[in-house]
Amino acid sequence: MLTVKTELLQALRVALEQLAPGSGAKAAFESPKVAAHGDLATTAAMQMAKPLRLNPRQLAEQLRAALLASAAFVEWVDAVDIAGPGFINIKLKPQAKQQVLREVLSQGDRFGSQPSTGKSMMVEFVSANPTGPLHVGHGRQAALGDAICNLFATQGWGVHREFYYNDAGVQIQTLANSTQLRAKGFKPGDDCWPTDPENPASKAFYNGDYIQDIANDFLAKKTVQADDRSFTASGDVDDLQSISNFAVAYLRHEQDKDLQAFNLKFDEYYLESSLYTSGRVDQTVNKLVANGKTYDKDGALWLKSTDYGDDKDRVMRKGDGSYTYFVPDVAYHISKWERGFEKVVNIQGTDHHGTIARVRAGLQAAGVGIPEGYPDYVLHTMVRVVKGGEEVKISKRAGSYVTLRDLIEWTSKDAVRFFLLSRKPDTEYTFDVDLAVTKNNDNPVYYVQYAHARICSVLLSWGGDRTALRDVDLSPLQSPQALALMLLLAKYPEMLSAAAADFAPHDVTFYLRELAACYHSYYDAERILVDDEPVKLARLALVAATAQVLHNGLAVLGVDAPSKM
């Protein structure tokens, strides 16, 4: 049907040009708000009427006549009706809708994907500091980032997944101190353990059981291997640097295990410390100073960020000579641009909202050719976890929060991914553990996966060659349920394109739930394995195509499409 729609769109473009030269660009279809009105609609006549000083209804009549005279509309369209002030509704012939099955079955896993654009982009996400296990907020980032990568891959982009983390600073020092105390035999609650509520540093000490695990392995002089590093502990409780290096490597390894359980792998781990050791931070500051975008005030160096839409200028270098946290961010994004990523998406929590304006201001002020609006941001809220009707706030593993691995162990990788993607990123979400493990239609991931497994069961019972279904006679597919299912299958590629453009993987979850419901309605209306061979083969082609699209959509989300449940 995609080919059919392309032919109809070209016919519309030609007809518009005939009515008013230069108006072919207004050729576009949309879905009628009421399904009974048709399968496609266009408002082109209403858009053109005012500049042409014509009655939109009369112009719609002229456009209708031109469309009905075109070869494409003669072949594929059953009726063209005018509604209201000039809406044009188009009803397709059954054979037009049937064409999508051939496209799905011939393209397989590639159905819905666009050819390569030759462009490359980076998505930076998770980016957790190596100071503890990944929490459910990181899980939401992981699901969002990976799905957005997959969405853009379907649109022909070359996608690079990057994890950025702070491997130095106060948090790492606190991690080392916490581990050292545990290694010396102390624990939270002991007199020596920092507990002063007036001292911010003391509140940052890490109390989870995982700190004792790190200390035990450090004392045992173990070696830990992470994706980006390896380190062997000295076992010396007074060697704070060794403790720090070991703890960071240990937690990077633990985070790797979390990500592996989530079936997620990054292309690169980028260290904040490298921005300093490579001189990138100093180079960035020097660029800003040389460009006249800074000034000195009260012993600090300020960026003129108000020149670029920020609500106030920002301190870059404090009186003690240290940089504020957005300065390395600017240097980091210049690195992204210089590495050839013309599009960059950052997945971060809503608490990072304030950094957007100052980072973009710094990039513009640097004058290195980066376009305005670079990078894009997708901000997400945190996640509440409910189990047994009550909110779960702590984990034995982490000590103060529910970890991503807890959530996966309580439910499954598929449930966590699907659930965390089922709402817009910036909306509050409550993860219901009990719902995620139920095996009924109330569980959305089960509902979608069951539709796929149900089709696989039918195809297995048939036992024939699925590739032969590409060429069967599809004319028996005339029922309302079959036609509705085919029309929905045809919407998959456009849905993917729109979801990528809007950074909206939740649209994929909505579509898959709708497709599963449409399939279940069809299954209840028509028996598939009937005695009539042509009818059976046509229906098998329909359900096989549906399984393929379910599989493709679930793959975008990083969710499995099981053949049995």
What are the pLDDT digits (tens) for 99-109? 999 999 999 99
Mark which of 92, 119, 142 sits at the end of a domain.
92
Question: In this structure, is residue 522 part of a structural domain?
Answer: yes
* Same-domain check for residues 539 and 459: yes
Question: In this structure, is residue 57 part of a structural domain?
Answer: yes
* Same-domain check for residues 358 and 452: no
Instruction: Using a pLDDT cut of 70, give the percent of the chain over it.
Output: 97
The total number of structural domains that make up the chain: 3
pTM score over 0.85: yes
- List the CATH number of the domain containing 74: 3.30.1360.70
Angle between helices 533-557 and 136-154 (to 10 degrees): 130
Mark which of 35, 65, 92 sits at the end of a domain.
92
Tokens of 384: 């509440």
Q: Which residues contact 269 (CB under 8 A, 6 or more apart)?
A: 162, 163, 164, 165, 227, 228, 252
Average pLDDT taken over every residue of the chain: 93
Question: In this structure, is residue 544 part of a structural domain?
Answer: yes
The predicted structure's pLDDT at residue 229: 84
Buried b (16+ CB within 10 A) or exposed e, 391-421: ebeebebbbebbbbbbbbebbbbbbbbbbbb
CA atoms within 13 Å, Cβ hemisphere of 318:
6
* Same-domain check for residues 373 and 446: no
Residue 131 confidence class, pLDDT cut points 50, 70, 90: confident
Mark which of 330, 349, 380 sits at the end of a domain.
380
Q: Which of 55-64, 206-215, 514-523 has the highest mean pLDDT?
A: 514-523
Residue 375 near residue 178 (C-beta atoms within 8 A): no
DSSP character string of 307-376: GGT-SS-EEEE-TTSPBPTHHHHHHHHHHHHHTT-SEEEEEEEGGGTTHHHHHHHHHHHHTSSPPTT-SE
* Same-domain check for residues 451 and 531: yes
- List the CATH number of the domain containing 360: 3.40.50.620
Strand pairing report for 294-297 and 300-303: antiparallel
Question: In this structure, is residue 459 part of a structural domain?
Answer: yes
Q: How far apart are CA 16 and CA 24, in angstroms?
A: 5
CA distances to 173, 248, 318, 326 from 278, in Å: 22, 21, 21, 17
* Same-domain check for residues 451 and 351: no
Which DSSP state fits 515?
A: H
Residue 555 confidence class, pLDDT cut points 50, 70, 90: very high
Can you tell me whether residue 61 is helix, strand or coil?
A: helix
Domain that holds residue 367: 278-380
- List the CATH number of the domain containing 473: 1.10.730.10
Question: In this structure, is residue 210 part of a structural domain?
Answer: no
Indicate if the pLDDT at residue 201 is higher than 50: no
The predicted structure's pLDDT at residue 202: 45
Tokens of 146: 């990976």
The predicted structure's pLDDT at residue 14: 96
Question: In this structure, is residue 200 part of a structural domain?
Answer: no
Weakest-pLDDT range from 28-32, 193-197, 325-329: 193-197
Q: How far apart are CA 329 and CA 309, in angstroms?
A: 18
Tokens of 466: 């699925």
Indicate if the pLDDT at residue 238 is higher than 60: yes
Indicate if the pLDDT at residue 394 is higher than 80: no
Q: How far apart are CA 410 and CA 437, in angstroms?
A: 8
Query: What average pLDDT score do residues 383-401 get?
Result: 82
Residue 205 confidence class, pLDDT cut points 50, 70, 90: confident
* Same-domain check for residues 449 and 547: yes
The predicted structure's pLDDT at residue 399: 63
The predicted structure's pLDDT at residue 52: 83
The predicted structure's pLDDT at residue 395: 64
Which DSSP state fits 39?
A: S
Residue 9 confidence class, pLDDT cut points 50, 70, 90: very high
Question: In this structure, is residue 264 part of a structural domain?
Answer: no
Can you tell me whether residue 158 is helix, strand or coil?
A: strand
Sheet holding 390-392, edge to edge: 390-392, 383-387, 429-432
Question: In this structure, is residue 53 part of a structural domain?
Answer: yes
Number of CB atoms found within 10 A of residue 171's CB: 16
Q: Which of 196-200, 251-255, 335-339 has the highest mean pLDDT?
A: 335-339
Residue 294 β-bridge partners: 303
Indicate if the pLDDT at residue 200 is higher than 80: no
